[in-house]
Amino acid sequence: MSTTVPARRVLLKLSGEVFGGGAVGLDPGVVAAVAEEIADAVHEGVQVSIVVGGGNFFRGAELSQSGMDRARADYMGMLGTVMNCLALQDFLEKAGVSTRVQTAITMGQVAEPYIPLRAIRHMEKGRAVIFGAGAGMPYFSTDTVAIQRALETHCGEVLVGKNGVDGVYTADPRVDSSATRIDYLTFDEAIQKDLRVVDSTALALCRDNDLTMRVFGMNAPGNVAGALKGEKIGTIVTSQPRTNEPDQSQRDQDPSQQSKEPA
């Protein structure tokens, strides 16, 4: 009697900085390259959904520091995410992937409303689904939204693409030359050590629902496709400590332990 292996279903979280290539605005070359890698994974049968940030256009928290009402600033940020969604959709379609954008704020001329069961059905049919407009409410980061969307659409893993780093480090390697990469840690460790993987609400949501997260670098060609397909790159963050391994405090004291990839 044959058994069917369930398709791999994952959610990819991309920051707005990815879309801007590190600058304000949109870098078409960068978006096209990311789309090609996503298409590679979709064509191999991976069910892919994506949550995008809008920091290349607007950051609500930063705008509010300049005197703007925080809620209104956050709504501007949500609209920025939709612009990124549409750009990614365009390049995914050009790469041969049927794509749907779903938004938490109704805008029927450019996107579908966010409906979890419809999103699941799209992925089952081989379409990529891009979630925009955050949670549709102020004060919620796209990090937290990514976890919520992954849980509601039954994704097996959340993949967090980072610019400038290839995983989670003990400190910011761009500032502290002694920072070392951590290949495996728990959500509790990330929260307690304030490692800034994603915001603490997102980490707690992953921990409480036993959802695995992988943090990887966007800079190396092929990393996006590799992460989507399940390659062991970057840092894996889980609810449970790695079995038969030293605890995190021992790993901190012995840097050689940090280079081992989990089985």
- pLDDT values of the chain reduced to their tens digit, one per residue, 263 residues: 556 778 999 999 999 888 887 778 899 999 999 999 999 999 999 999 999 998 888 776 677 777 889 899 899 999 999 999 999 999 999 999 999 999 999 999 999 999 999 999 999 999 999 999 999 999 999 999 999 999 999 999 999 998 888 999 998 888 888 899 999 999 999 999 999 889 999 999 999 999 999 999 998 999 999 999 999 999 999 999 887 544 444 444 454 444 444 43
- pTM exceeding the 0.75 threshold for the entire prediction: yes
* DSSP label of 192: H
Q: Which residue has the tokens 């939709």?
A: 82
Cβ(38)–Cβ(50) under 8 Å? yes
Strand partners, 130: 50, 101
The contacts of residue 212 (CB under 8 Å, 6+ apart) are 156, 157, 158, 206, 236, 237, 238
- Output the CA–CA distances (angstroms, integers) from residue 218 to 14, 153, 158, 211, in the order listed: 9, 24, 15, 21
Q: How many CB atoms lie within 10 A of CB 114?
A: 22
At a CB cut-off of 8 Å and minimum separation 6, what does 14 contact?
A: 34, 50, 51, 52, 53, 84, 88, 161
